[in-house]
Amino acid sequence: MTTTNHHLANITQPQPPRNNDISKPDLPKYYDGNPNRMKGFIQECLAYFELANVTEDYKKILFTLSRISGGHTEHATRWADATRDQIFTRNEAVTQASILKQTIPTTVIPGPYFANYTTFMRIFEQQFGLLSSEAEAIEALTLLEQGNMTCEEYIVVFKSHATRAGYNDNALLHEFKRGLNKGLRAKLNLTYPLPENNADGTKNIENWIIRAAELDKQFSAQGQKDPNAMDVDRTRRSGNTNDITCYNCQQKGHYSRNCPNPKKQRGMNIRAMVTDMSQEDKEFLKKELGF
């Protein structure tokens, strides 16, 4: 009898109003980084997008970030803030490059920070679903390789691990270069002028990442094989060096290793840069330079 009365009492209690207007769906609950809540949060976001008719990936990404907050030591908040800052920074770079391209047609316009919502969600899942400690983040970082990923995708994945690895910029730069495909890594090792350092003289990992993305864009714009390299291949086969430009004196007709002019002092220490390369990178560089 008591149970029945209690049940009847619950029925007569005022119930909270339900949202029956599907044009105004309930917002997803805030996500605090709990791996056990990750799948439910993703489903809530997808349901919200469906009911609210949100189709643009950029809006989906910003909305999802707005619902990520809290967590142990505010980790979820810090990740969302940092990711949003990277998105806005990239947007500004796109705007500036678009303006510059009007006067300098060869200017490379970077792509969006996230290619699409699927890419964003993959990084989100890696950040909160797979990594639960600094040690695991370090392990993931040291095993990361670009492989079939674009440079942009590799950068996004790299940063998702780097934020929790606890490495300084010098150590991060080492891992960033190591994971790149060897062609892009070789180009980055020889980039000049060097990306700007921090005020205290230490490496600025963000500047190196930006440079890698720029080099990759330039290489992609030329096709899978650099046209200059193709010209060199044809020259080697024909033996004709009339169109070859010497790296040392900038005159045509010979390679730098056969240059009759005095060797010029360069603004960068090639020997020091090559010393830091792996044997594989050294062999790749020698092949690219025609030695």
**Domain boundaries along the sequence of the chain:** 35-221, 227-289
Q: What pLDDT band is residue 230 in, cutting at 50, 70 and 90?
A: very low
- Has residue 252 got a pLDDT over 80? no
Alpha-carbon torsion (43, 45, 48, 49), positive or negative: negative
Question: Tell me, what's the pLDDT at 250?
Answer: 67
Question: Tell me, what's the pLDDT at 103?
Answer: 92
**Average pLDDT of span 80-105:** 92
Question: Tell me, what's the pLDDT at 218?
Answer: 83
Give the lowest-confidence range in 35-39, 49-53, 158-162, 259-263: 259-263
Question: Tell me, what's the pLDDT at 7?
Answer: 46
Q: What pLDDT band is residue 171 in, cutting at 50, 70 and 90?
A: very high
Highest mean pLDDT among 52-66, 133-147, 159-173, 255-269: 52-66
**Average pLDDT of span 26-55:** 92
Question: Tell me, what's the pLDDT at 46?
Answer: 95
Question: Tell me, what's the pLDDT at 17?
Answer: 53
pTM, two decimal places: 0.47
Q: What pLDDT band is residue 83 in, cutting at 50, 70 and 90?
A: very high
**Average pLDDT of span 83-91:** 92
Structure tokens that stand for 278 in this block: 């792996």
